[in-house]
Amino acid sequence: MSDSPQPYRVLARKYRPRSFSELIGQDAMVQTLGNAIRRGRLAHAFLMTGVRGVGKTSTARLIAKALNCVGPDGQGGPTIDPCGQCEPCKAIAEGRHIDVVEMDAASHTGVDDVREIIEAVRYAAVSARYKIYIIDEVHMLSKNAFNALLKTLEEPPAHVKFLFATTEVNKVPVTVLSRCQRFDLRRIPAELLATHFTHVVEAERVAAEPEALALIAQAAEGSARDGLSILDQAIAHAEMDDGPSLVTAAQVREMLGLSDRGSVRRLLALLLEGETASLIAAVREQYALGVEPLALMRGLMELVHAVTLMKAGRDIASPGQSTEEREMLADWAAQLGFAPLHRLWQLLLKGHDEVANAVLPIESCEMALLRVMHAATMPDPAEVARLLREGGASSSASTEGSSAGAASSAPASARLPATYADLIEAFWQGGKGQLAQELHDCVGVIRYAPPQFDYRPTPQLPADFLARLLPALREVTGTAWQVAAGEGPAEPTLLEQEQRQAADSRARILETPVVKAAMAAFPDAELDDRLERWSAEA
């Protein structure tokens, strides 16, 4: 009689790391732990925090193995490379070691559960070097449970170690955090996940396209467990077809409701070109293919983000990125300014939130994209302020029907602020209130000859003033300026001029016969500010 087949184990469990060398993306933590173990500087409590699926509980179990491993010959001590062959290593890996206790705080939240631990820690380990308590999702313990644990957590017996794991470290009391050695497990980069998935499919004897694995890695959002679950589903989806199993990018997109990169690029191109009818038709075509409206909005946001990073000079090469895509991103980065890119991002972000909460997702998606398209043809606040100052709306006609890229360009014939006061007013109108205030209060003009400007700073002027001023000048006026700080003779700041004018006005009022007589008759009287303002206006 043949043995019954072993039940299938999902990939997320089958490929759980069995040693620190298999724990991907957490090299800094592994190095810190290794140094601590080698030097005998072991904390009595560890706290692992991070998003789901990055290896918090797996790390806790590996630490338990590392601290209790005795080696194949039974003579070994704590090590960052547990053998996996001795009885403690095997028992911990199989979850049956009597001295390694795992507790799920989500289902054991009360003070009574913690009291059992407090009572048990007084007794020495039965067969291991350390008695270890692993508490998963520790943030779900009640306030009373945390308080009951504090004293034991601060001064536990030498044979006890506490290992905590949580996805919401902000909910863990500071009194507990201060008693633990904390490790923040990072999101695993998509490139590293894709490489890991390549090894998994090879071990599973399944063929997969590199682009398919890259899509799964991106969808995992830094979580190895989520990625392996998606890969499990993709393999099952591929096995539905006749012939050898092959996980393709098209299958993954269909399974996840994703749009391919080429379609998203075409959508963004139509959006920037202002092709309303073609844009709506392309959105409906993607919707008919099973692409979720939210996925469309997210794809456009990722594309705008990639263009912005490329414009900022960052290399954004990623697995599966074609030469065509890279060239198109570079072309957009060269044509679009930062201002329209930021505007596109904000509009798409607002549209994404609307689609996520909409009763009619596809309709909301279309309306959001139409808003993006038409908002892109509107002049930015700096241009509006310039048009208002010039008193003419004729130039606004040139913005009708323009794309988002065209909206970023200031008119070549734009008139620069004639006076320094006009420049400050342009900053107020352009939404640069802080810079306008600093120009008013803390800057003495040495020479103002647009687009050149030399100034003498006051001690109150922030150190980063010039770095913030130059891009703001270009944004507000549409022209690159030459600005320099100097120590030469300069006019008083506008604030100083206003204060001097107010003092002169006050002195003149006090010298008038009527006021002098009133002050002599009433020695304790004070000059009302309203009289000063009335005098100045008169």
For residues 166 and 3, give the distance between their C-alpha atoms in angstroms, rounded to a whole number: 40
pLDDT number for residue 534: 46
Q: Which amino acid is at 108?
A: H
Q: Which residues of the chain have pLDDT under 50?
A: 1-2, 392-413, 531-534, 536-538
The structure tokens listed for 180 are 């633990």
Residue 222 CB-half CA count within 13 A: 10
The structure tokens listed for 447 are 């020479």
State the angle between helix axes of 381-390 and 420-429 in degrees (0 to 180), rounded to the nearest 10. 130
For residues 365 and 285, give the distance between their C-alpha atoms in angstroms, rounded to a whole number: 13
For residues 103 and 110, give the distance between their C-alpha atoms in angstroms, rounded to a whole number: 12
* Residue 70 DSSP code: -
For residues 61 and 417, give the distance between their C-alpha atoms in angstroms, rounded to a whole number: 67
CATH of domain 11-184: 3.40.50.300
- Burial class of 416 by CB neighbour count within 10 A (0 to 12, 13 to 18, 19+): middle
Q: Of how many residues is the chain composed?
A: 538
The structure tokens listed for 460 are 């109150």
Distances (CA, A) of 120 to 33, 67, 99, 123, 243: 27, 19, 10, 6, 57
**Is 173 strand, coil or helix?**
coil
Whether domain 261-375 has CATH 3.30.460.10: no
For residues 60 and 48, give the distance between their C-alpha atoms in angstroms, rounded to a whole number: 8
State the pTM of this model: 0.58
pLDDT number for residue 390: 61
Every domain of the chain and the residues it spans: 11-184, 190-256, 261-375, 494-537
- Burial class of 538 by CB neighbour count within 10 A (0 to 12, 13 to 18, 19+): exposed
Contact 258, 252 (CB under 8 A): yes
pLDDT number for residue 300: 92
The structure tokens listed for 280 are 């709506």
Strands of 123-180 (E only): list them.
131-136, 160-166
pLDDT number for residue 350: 92
For residues 58 and 349, give the distance between their C-alpha atoms in angstroms, rounded to a whole number: 35
Ramachandran region, residue 336 (left: φ > 0; alpha: ψ -120 to 50; beta: rest): beta
Nearest C-alpha neighbor of 493 from the set 440, 432, 438: 440
- Burial class of 391 by CB neighbour count within 10 A (0 to 12, 13 to 18, 19+): exposed
Residue carrying the six token digits 């109150």: 460
338's CB contacts (< 8 A; 6+ apart) are 308, 311, 408
How do strand 131-136 and strand 246-247 relate by DSSP bridges? unpaired
For residues 79 and 333, give the distance between their C-alpha atoms in angstroms, rounded to a whole number: 51
Q: Is the peptide bond before 451 cis (omega within 30 degrees of 0)?
A: yes
**Is 395 strand, coil or helix?**
helix
Residue 425's beta-bridge partner residues? Answer: none
Fold (topology level) of 190-256: Helicase, Ruva Protein; domain 3 (1.10.8)
pLDDT number for residue 526: 66
Residue carrying the six token digits 């980063």: 464
Distances (CA, A) of 83 to 66, 75, 101, 522: 9, 12, 21, 96
For residues 324 and 336, give the distance between their C-alpha atoms in angstroms, rounded to a whole number: 18
CA atoms 288, 291, 293, 296: torsion sign: negative
The structure tokens listed for 51 are 């998003």
pLDDT number for residue 174: 92
pLDDT number for residue 414: 59
